Structure 1
């Protein structure tokens, strides 16, 4: 071909090569080719990601188009620029907040503006997972209250602990108190159904306070969304209204120049309790208050309150209690008038119950002459004293035979005549001394029997004699730790309060006139309780015990001969109980067994 004809062809090929070179220069590359965003509901929005745009030649202009995930009605996938020129770096932001758990596809398209340039599509995936499970409790606070003296002192309630999603392992801990407990504690598994947590408060030993006691039960899990939930527990302890049921002594003589310390018995005493008194207004505080426990306190009445005879009201005041106690009348008495403070069985000290013929002790003040004056002779006197200043006792209008008298206690025998009154009848006991009779009587209820075993001291050792039946006549010796009775041997038990009696004549020993004269010593016959006699020792019944009133003794003393069960275990203080007509003895009499 001639050179003239080659020139146009060379020019055409050069133009086409230039066109191809221009097309190659306009292509765009995008990295990465896809994006994936991970999001957990209630968590932080995922961080942005970067798209790097490059061209193979000269800079290329481009535009950005975003295809949003289907649920988003407004853009939830955004790009930092909607157009630009290569090279470029685009930040892509995803905000899946509000989307339900699932996978959501989207895309970003990069389109070059040069003619014939190809677009690039970057697929975007939004993966939304459920939120981590949260701990929850059905209550976040518990309020308890307790008033001293009431029940229950221990209170419980139940709390439901649960999770709103996946299973969790949680721990339970109690803080801030010793009175608060939770069960179970330590590690618990929360799977499916709620776990029951028992919360217990125990007010034992807590002092009443205007400020509630506070504690916390915490349930925690490191994998939970909320990490922990706390249950605030409060316990309000309020003092119950105090009461006074007795004072000892019950009174003091008017004109006393010295203060008097009294033991006050009642309920709902606290360390903060105080006592006030006054003849006209309860404004004078008692001093030297010692609260022994919730039922006992000691207090001193100043001498200034004892100047005049009369009733001296005493009240107990306790902070946080609704009111003070009802007033208790302490007797400020005329020292010339006998005072009856207590009536008890002389053997068991069972108070305020009497039976016909029972030996009783009366406690009080101004009851008799100085020292102890005992009876002598038979019958027992109904008036006993020194130099014409005598003591006498009337029970239900009947004179009582006296055993002894003194200024603060006396002993007498309940008249047999009260057997005519119905059991349960409450009768008056008046004491007269030196011609003056008590103005306030003692009170006692009548019983068919009020058995009590005499004891030899505060240890409870019973008034029991060991009987040596191997010799005639039998030998008697006092039972005790150093002279214990062998199992299977015989003993004599001494008691009172056995009620009415029957007498059976025996040869050469006729019965005294029946019914026996008041105060008459037994001189003949076999005098036995009208009610059946039974004995248990160490919980084992004694076979056929025999109870008789010894000849020569007062009608109120009973001797019970009993053979010890051979299977009795040895011991220094084995309990002894008697019963008369089915009525058991009170007290803690014991016998030594070897």
Structure 2
């Protein structure tokens, strides 16, 4: 006795020979499931395992078998896009970068945040796993519509990767991302990618127009997407205080038209390895002002922040 009550098989409105297979509820008033079928010139077969199989008769290279199992009502599981966790720049990724993935049904309804265990972020959270090709990635946050994840450092050297999410026995479609050496993005005070940058003065206080940095002092900027480090960072690890891990990509800085000295560029100690710290010494001859441009280049990519200088 089948668990579904109706199968509807009809031509699509496109006027082609494609078709749809649909399952309706007991009274025929609600669509429970539907799937696209490539051709309506075929056979429907029902077996004892409550499965409907469709075999087109007009194949060219051989039969194409589409099977739909109605034992349970399938839950939607769809990955719609990704972006840098701070700037939301999508379609590209760098090794170690923190990413946000977006979709439908890709995790638990109530969001879950990861906890650090033995200095590491795990690759399973709330039943969610994320794969970059064959590599499982650390999951920092998981919900039904958003997952925050760290791209593995191990993707370095690849031209592209495919990202998939596994959850509740299902797997999403794959997202193809181009791999860049660096995709830097800075933290902001309000979480808006275009908001005021988080820049710390040498004493650790927040740089603002009311709390400017002195010329000749060092300011600290935190980024993500800086790429691989030397020595190599470990994916998902909280970066230790020693040894210091330096970004492999060249990092330069300028304040207005004046070149500035980068005193450190690498993984931020005591934060997850995907967070980078850039220390920049403000030139003695830099112009004072409440919103002076601070440009930081990581490899081929550049950020321009605003800096208050006295």
TM over 0.5: yes
Equivalent position of 1:415 in the other structure: 152
Count of matched residue pairs = 243
- In the TM superposition, what are the counterparts of 1:303-314 in structure 2 within 5 Å? none
Equivalent position of 2:135 in the other structure: 398
d(CA) in 2 for partners of 1:463 and 1:481? 13
Distance change in 2, residues 1:480/1:417 (3 Å): same
SS at match of 1:543: strand
d(CA) in 1 for partners of 2:167 and 2:81? 17
Equivalent position of 1:547 in the other structure: 265
Equivalent position of 2:275 in the other structure: 557
Distance change in 2, residues 1:448/1:498 (3 Å): same
Equivalent position of 1:68 in the other structure: none
| Counterpart contact for 1:460–1:590, Cα < 8 Å | no
| Counterpart contact for 2:183–2:227, Cα < 8 Å | yes
Equivalent position of 2:3 in the other structure: none
Which residue of the other structure, out of 209, 212, 216, is the alignment partner of 1:484?
212
SS at match of 1:525: coil
Q: Select the structure with the greater relative contact order (CA < 8 A; seq sep ≥ 6).
A: 2
Structure 1 gap ranges (5+): 1-278, 283-305, 312-333, 469-475, 504-514
Equivalent position of 1:338 in the other structure: 77
- In the TM superposition, what are the counterparts of 1:477-516 in structure 2 within 5 Å? 477-503=205-231, 515-516=232-233
d(CA) in 1 for partners of 2:101 and 2:78? 10
Tell whether 2:200 aligns with 1:465. yes
Q: TM-score under structure 1 normalisation?
A: 0.38
Q: Deviations over 1:60-104 (max 9, x none)?
A: xxxxxxxxxxxxxxxxxxxxxxxxxxxxxxxxxxxxxxxxxxxxx
- In the TM superposition, what are the counterparts of 1:74-473 in structure 2 within 5 Å? 280-281=13-14, 336-377=75-116, 378-385=119-126, 390-421=127-158, 425-438=159-172, 440-457=173-190, 458=192, 459-468=194-203
Higher helix content, 1 or 2: 1
Alpha-carbon offset, residue 338 of structure 1: 2.8
The list of structure 1 runs, each at least 4 consecutive aligned residues, that deviate by more than 6 angstroms after superposition, is none
SS at match of 1:280: coil
The higher radius of gyration belongs to 1
Tell whether 2:293 aligns with 1:575. yes
| Counterpart contact for 1:533–1:546, Cα < 8 Å | no
Which residue of the other structure, out of 213, 237, 246, is the alignment partner of 1:520?
237
Q: Deviations over 1:279-334 (max 9, x none)?
A: 7349xxxxxxxxxxxxxxxxxxxxxxx986568xxxxxxxxxxxxxxxxxxxxxx9
Q: Could you say what the CA RMSD is over the residues aligned between the two structures, in angstroms?
A: 2.7
Alpha-carbon offset, residue 542 of structure 1: 1.1
Distance change in 2, residues 1:392/1:482 (3 Å): farther
Distance change in 2, residues 1:487/1:419 (3 Å): same
Q: Deviations over 1:509-531 (max 9, x none)?
A: xxxxxx44431222231111112
